[in-house]
Structure 1
Amino acid sequence: MLSRFSIPGFGAKRRFDDLSEQEILALAISSEEEDAQIYRAYAGKLAAAYPRSAAVFEGMAATEDEHRRRLIEAYQRRFGDFIIPIRREHVAGYIARNPVWLVENLGLDRVREEAADMERQAGAFYIAAAARATDADTRKLLGDLAAAEAGHEREANALAAEHLTEEGRGEEDAAAHRQFVLTWVQPGLAGLMDGSVSTLAPIFATAFATQNPWTTFLVGLSASIGAGISMGFTEA
């Protein structure tokens, strides 16, 4: 149950076990809406460099839209047109999503892993929500959505087969590798070379000039700390 992740003492958030069926449905609606937006954001970020993977995420976003539509219909039948404004951040211990900018900077494989985690978490939510539901139609819908989330991996594979051929995936993986080298490896090597020269130069100069190991150590330590601070500000 999701309630085991509840944080005691934080009254500003609701515990999952304390939510009514109306609130659970409203939470599911907002969650599906947010997940669709995340998938579309992934697609938009990947479109230029990885168009085939972007098409897969567009298909996944469309699936989330369909889930949201079914949830809204169920909500309207039972509770009317006004949907309670409740979101993930209002529920203690509820599943959280990493910021899109944080994931996208880690490369294509990390985006794919994040999407798989999102589907697993959504499936766990629907299983817990279905167990709480007392209305037969609502319970059936939540159970169906839990099964759908569990089957999303197969659906994602089907979308990948449609949009992402073996050759296309190889091209995108190669592009992702090049991007990783240019983004992380090359700057790291350049920084290592620059830092080594700028740090070793005053150490050797001090050693030759003073012939004093302790003074040389202090100069080297100061140069290392200064280089670390400088590189830290540069990366920030």
Structure 2
Amino acid sequence: MLSRVFGLGRRSFDTLSEQEILALAISSEEDDARIYRAYGDGLREEFPQSAKIFDEMADEEDGHRAALIDMHRKRFGERIPLIRREHVRGYYERKPDWLVRPLGVDHVRRMAEEMERQAQRYYAEAAKRTTDAATRKLLGDLAAAEQSHEDLAHKLGLKHTPGEVREEEHQTERRQFILTYIQPGLAGLMDGSVSTLAPIFAAAFATHDTWQTFLVGLAASVGAGISMGFTEVASDDGRLSGRGSPIKRGLATGIMTTVGGLGHALPYLIPHFSTATAVAIAIVFVELWAIAWIQNRFMDTPFWRASFQVVLGGALVFAAGVLIGSG
């Protein structure tokens, strides 16, 4: 662990021989080609046109690798030393595709442009370290190629994803985000904010004990969060509905359910009953309007209709809790 943090056990770039410089370039091009193909595979189902961008970029990297291998074969023979980017101190790193893929197609395009910039800087520095004229020319040519490819993702994007295709992909990406995170999270927030109103305020007005009310609210919120989360996971695996990973949806639902309930349970940590209740009611008001705003912003529900539905439902549940607690 410490060796990775402080670069212990890694070679300095300045100590690499010309053969090792070529070997490092070869392994880097192989890795980059695999990364681009992984990006393409990750995008192919939902963004087939953008996937073609990364297929072509992978082909570009294969061409660079072939030229480097030919040069190595001419100068040093068939045996290529095993040296990779993680063996060299200060060398740029690549994030695995599973860390990048969920961040969206535009982010992946930007990552590809950054990869091209990093490769260009490497070839420019490597060319300075070589004395063989042919090798220096090759590395210089590759540096120039990478520099010209710095906007390759953008150029290929214009070729494969014209305006109407990009807009369609953007809408698909937005729809997937809403189905996987917003919709389950909104359902959880509504359930946590509204369904826990009755037990929390019933306990508050029945006992006038802020600590006992907080414990009831905590239990109701956590219990509802667990229940809603598991229900979401078990109800739909996402394959037919296209709603995405059940784990992600379950986490979004469970966490937001718990947050919704805790919002008006936490004020009862205040020992003064009237103050705690006033703060809790104010938070309930904010929660209900937040739900209405989310419905309007992401679900295209007219704001006043969403407000009426949420506020009316919340008011009825709140009144039920107060009446039961005061009875």
Tell whether the structures are fold-level matches, with TM greater than 0.5: yes
Show CA shifts across 1:165-208 (max 9, x none).
22222211221221222222223222322333465454323212
Of 105, 108, 114 in structure 1, the residue corresponding to residue 102 of structure 2 is 105
Q: 2:89 aligns to what SS in structure 1?
A: coil
**How far is the alpha carbon of 1:162 from its aligned partner?**
2.7
Cα distance change of structure 1 residues 90 and 202 upon mapping to structure 2, 3 Å threshold: farther
The alpha-carbon distance between structure 1 residues 228 and 59, as it changes in their structure 2 partners (threshold 3 A), is same
1:169 is paired with a residue whose SS is: helix
What's the CA shift string for 1:203-227, capped at 9, x where partnerless? Answer: 3232122111233234445655677
Partner SS, residue 115 of structure 1: helix
Specify which of 143, 156, 159 is matched with residue 162 of structure 1: 159
For the structure 1 residues 222 and 155, does the alpha-carbon distance in structure 2 shift closer, same or farther, using more than 3 Å as the test?
A: same
Q: Which one is further off, 202-211 or 142-151?
A: 202-211
Q: CA deviation at 1:30?
A: 0.7
The answer to whether residue 82 in structure 2 is matched with residue 66 in structure 1 is no
Relative to structure 1, the CA distance from residue 125 to residue 191 in structure 2 (aligned partners, 3 Å threshold; closer, same or farther) is: farther
Give the % identical residues: 60
Q: Is the CA contact (8 Å cut-off) linking 1:7 and 1:93 kept in structure 2?
A: no
Deviations 1:20-62 (A, max 9, x none): 2211111110111111111111111212211111111111111
> Structure 1 CA distance, aligned partners of 2:47 and 2:5?
44
CA RMSD, Structure 1 to Structure 2 (Å):
2.7
**Code of the aligned partner of 1:210:** T
Give the match for residue 13 of structure 1: 10
Structure 2 unaligned spans of 5+: 230-246, 253-327
Task: Please tell me the residue identity of whatever aligns with 1:146.
Answer: A
Specify the code of the residue in structure 1 equivalent to 2:251.
E
Is 131-140 or 113-122 further displaced after alignment? 131-140
Q: CA 1:219/1:60 → structure 2, altered by over 3 Å: closer, same or farther?
A: same
* Aligned residues between the structures: 231
In terms of mean alpha carbon deviation, does 178-187 or 75-84 score higher? Answer: 178-187
Which residue is 1:128 aligned to? Answer: 125
CA deviations 1:140-186 (Å, max 9, x no partner) are 21121111111114443442333222222221122122122222222
Q: AA paired with 1:47?
A: R
Once residues 124 and 223 of structure 2 are traced to their aligned partners in structure 1, the CA distance between those partners, rounded to angstroms, is: 54
Matches within 5 A, 1:84-233: 84-197=81-194, 200-221=197-218
Q: 1:173 to 1:25 in 2, by over 3 A?
A: same
Amino acid at match of 1:29: I
Change (3 A) 1:215 1:84: same
The one-letter code of the counterpart of 2:176 is Q
The alpha-carbon distance between structure 1 residues 8 and 128, as it changes in their structure 2 partners (threshold 3 A), is farther
Tell me the distance in 2 between the aligned counterparts of 1:179 and 1:102: 18
- Please say which of residues 101-110 and 151-160 is displaced more in the overlay: 151-160
> What is the letter of the counterpart of residue 89 of structure 1?
E
**Letter paired with 1:203:** I
Partner of 2:72: 75
The residue that corresponds to 2:46 in the other structure is: 49
Tell which has more relative contact order, 1 or 2 (C-alpha 8 A, sep 6+): 1
Whole-Å separation in 2 of the counterparts to 1:17 and 1:228: 56
Match of 1:39 in 2: 36
Letter in 2 for 1:78: R
TM-score norm. by structure 1 comes to 0.84
Do the aligned residues in 1 keep the contact of 2:113 with 2:153 (CA within 8 Å)? Answer: no
- 1:87-131 residue CA offsets vs partner (Å, 9 max, x unmatched): 122222321111211211122112112111211121122222222
